[in-house]
Amino acid sequence: MRELVPGGNLPLPDVALSLQVPGPFDLSVLITGDSGKVAGDGDFVFYNQRSAPGARLHAGGAGIDPRRLRAGASRVTVAISPADPGTALGRLPVPTLTVTGEGVGVLARFTPARPTHETVLLLAEIYRRGAAWKLRALGQGYADGLAGVARDFGVAVTEEATAPPASLPVPLPPPAAPASGTEAGFAALVRAERLRAGLPPVAMESRLSAAARAHAAVMAGQRRLSSESPDGISVFQRITAGGYRYLRIEQQLVSGPRTPGEFMDYCLTAEATRGPLYDAALSDAGIAHAVDARSGGFYWTALWARPFTADGLLRTTAEVLALTNAARAAAGLRPLAGDARLAAAAQAHSTDMAERAFYAHTSPEGSAPWDRAAAAGSGHRSIGENIACGQRTPREVVQGWMDSPGHRANILKADFTHLGIGFAGGGPAGTYWTQLFGRS
């Protein structure tokens, strides 16, 4: 079983799935094709329409069988809203999604950050990649209700509000401010808030803003929040393709605010959304928004980063080693020594996963961990490897490994004597980590 973080994904077995979200929530399912739009109202499974081919709601969750979805379906998005429409999500317990495979047990769990003013939360999506299916954690909020989500996915929604008289023109939404105006307005607000909190300022980084503009435009075109475009390109891949390298990255994908000031209000609403704003380690930022001309909806992408430096990479990998050894010490085991050859092999594998957008112990050419260790000149008698993707910090990735029995077994294996760490940013998940263990 794997604990997912926003943007994290994992392959799914070819079985029927059960999705459970206990608590005072209504669960909804939207079935779409590659366009990100439903084929008809029958693709929206919710409390008034509880089933569709391959999807059925049940108490506290839903059953999804990707093999039985309608022809052309390539994505299933799972959303929750309060069972009591008058209650804000932020006043309810934080939801936890558990995904179970028929005959194989629990596959993954995902607990998003606590919602604030959002009225709907996109929890996860099940999507087809080639001939296989994968699960991705989302945790993206909507402020305009389930009807707004449905509209963004192409469902025809009838509102009870009175339409304007035919003789009067329907007012158009205000045009989006130029990117430079958005950046300048947001930069001034961030500068003032961080100064008030005694923190150093952030620099508005043009390459981050360029990636934010491109991604915001994609979301407005899809009329939904997503970390990937329909062609599978993630916002992280846009960042690295623009020539920006990072050691830390945080993204905020938001719909609703119409000005930099309203976006700042969103940032200040809760501990989770305030995190990047008040994180002194994040020194660069980029922000942009795009407007969906059909609905007038505003879609924002904000990126916060700690830029890559060689010294910063050494500190990051050293922290992973220190945290790993702290876990071993707590179990009464001797510490692992850092190993330059294992580190070189681990770094090469993390970089390869990020650059070629795969996540596996075996490379596309068939290279295994022990092959990579030997190619780097390692003479260790036995080799073990942990990999992870999506985690943003050394503490987060080591905790994730310790929470997984198989990864924990490698960390606490008494026979291992040496360790190399690799980290790379980019790819669909944003971060890729490798631990390569060796025994003298």
Question: pLDDT tens across 296-311, in order?
Answer: 889 999 999 999 999 9
**Buried b vs exposed e over 5-23: b needs ≥16 C-beta within 10 Å?**
bbbbbbebeebbbbbbbee
pTM flag (> 0.85): no
Query: Residue 378: helix, strand or coil by DSSP?
Result: coil
Whole-number Å distance between alpha carbons of 100 and 18: 5
- C-beta separation of 420 from 383 below 8 A: no
End-to-end CA distance of the chain: 31
Residue 192 pLDDT > 70, yes or no? yes
How many residues does this entry show for the chain? 440
pLDDT attached to residue 165: 36
DSSP string across 169-224:
PPPPPPPPPPHHHHHHHHHHHHHHHHHHTT----EE-HHHHHHHHHHHHHHHHHTS
Instruction: Yes or no: say if 435 and 373 are a contact pair by the CB < 8 Å rule.
Output: no
**Beta pairing partners, 262:** none
DSSP symbol at 243: T
* Model pLDDT, residue 172: 38
Express as a percent the part of the chain with pLDDT over 70. 92
What is the Cα–Cα distance from 95 to 181, expressed in whole angstroms? 37
Indicate whether 2 pLDDT > 90: no
d(CA 386, CA 184): 42
Confidence of residue 157 (pLDDT cuts 50, 70, 90): low
Please state the rounded mean pLDDT for residues 165-191: 57
The C-alpha atoms of residue 401 and residue 399 are separated, in whole angstroms, by 5
Per-residue confidence (pLDDT) for residue 332, from 0 to 100: 97
- pLDDT tens-place string over residues 317-352: 999 999 999 999 999 999 999 999 999 999 999 999
Least confident interval from 29-33, 161-165, 398-402: 161-165
What percentage of the chain exceeds 90 in pLDDT?
60
pLDDT tens track for 381-418: 899 999 999 999 999 999 999 998 889 999 999 999 99
